[in-house]
Structure 1
């Protein structure tokens, strides 16, 4: 099974949730492979159950597995690292303080490890207090360039900018995108992204010069009746991705 992501040559790669192995396969095909499928650690009662199930997703999608926290839950940070050490997925979601642990236990540089930082209401600054303990304290607001340097020190690959609430923090997001570009770092916009604002959000990152962009599109494309991500919406997002790169 390949450790090297299918999408490493992609400028843009989707991150969507998969409710089942079959749903993961459908979304993988709809995105023509330009996707990682999020499976949330929070949905499992034990590491063993998670590992057994997530291996099925890996087999069905050429290891396009993204091990998730679950709505950015910092209490899942340690579990994500434990699972990732065994599974060797292509993508790992982490809080700021968990990125170094995940990189260390992976024992390789190929898996993309993101780190969650949050908007602050101030352009050029992000909140890095997103860990199990730090998230309960006052925000730790630092310059985004410093945050990226810290993440590089820890072996992370990308900034997961969450919760964006769509374009609510547009000016802040523009600066984050520019910082990622000038520091040769990946960017993962997350939170409130839908079919209406997706293209603008991705275009901002493309225009800034970000090398790799992994937008997370979750609840807005999930069928409320089945709980599954809609493959037809994934196809629509893929078309928009292609359009931003014209």
Structure 2
């Protein structure tokens, strides 16, 4: 069972990739525990190897484990669900159609399970065709409110909005954030987030009243020579998080 997360005011938690146990611990400390550490299922050949290794991350970081697909790869959906059932992490990344399977394998409602939806170019609408088969066909565009309702039916906790490409889809993202706030749903902005746009992306969500925001910051803070997420950059993001949560603490 997962450990209750230590979110800032229960409003905001960072999600970054962990390249090793040592890297995970360093990032966890840099964010004072207000972090989820992504470990990608795609990096493992078997469930057994993944479970053995991911258990070490759980032990090293008070179960701040976030089981990842790997760039939203829909072909990892079933493996992620199996791992979730065996590991009981704090956080699970899923494609839209895999949410129900993950929740069923978890057999509890505490772990955060997101459902991946994508921008469409139209404000108020998202593409839910992110599964192994559906992603190969034409997009399925529905209102963000409908997507949230369907995810709730499947036991989902949050919208993973990907790929955002930073602020490219700013007005679409704002509409997604408003819908999450109005429907008591968590929001996970993902894709193209860096030290420069992080504050604005998070503030958009907090300013409209999203209950909990989990921004994913990946390649922009990874050292290309080592593959490690830079703890010093995590610390910078954490400072921004503290400032924003203080600013919107009464909202």
Unaligned runs of 5+ in 1: none
Q: Partner of 2:6 in structure 1?
A: 6
Q: Aligned ranges for residues 46-57 of structure 1 at < 5 Å? A: 46-57=46-57
Secondary structure of 1:12's counterpart equals coil
SS in 1 for 2:26: helix
Shift of 1:3: 3.9
Report the equivalent of 2:91. 91
Name the counterpart of 1:139: 139
Contact map agreement 2:14 2:215 (CA 8 A) in 1? yes
- Partner residue, 1:74: 74
Any unmatched runs of 5+ in structure 2? Answer: none
Q: CA deviation at 1:197?
A: 0.2
Give TM-score scaled by structure 2 length.
0.96
Change (3 A) 1:134 1:8: farther
Deviation of the 1:4 alpha carbon = 3.0
Q: How many residues are aligned here?
A: 246
Aligned to 1:125: 125
CA distance in 2, matches of 1:7, 1:101: 26
Aligned to 1:62: 62
Counterparts of 1:204 and 1:243 in 2: how far apart (Å)? 14
Stretches of 4+ aligned residues off by more than 6 angstroms: none
Question: Alpha-carbon deviations, 1:100-120, whole Å to 9, x = none?
Answer: 100011000000000000000
Deviations 1:22-63 (A, max 9, x none): 000000000000000000000000000000000000000000
CA-CA distance at 1:8 after TM superposition = 8.6
The CA distance in 2 between the partners of 1:154 and 1:160, in whole Å, is: 15
Contact 2:2–2:89 at 8 Å: present in 1 too? no
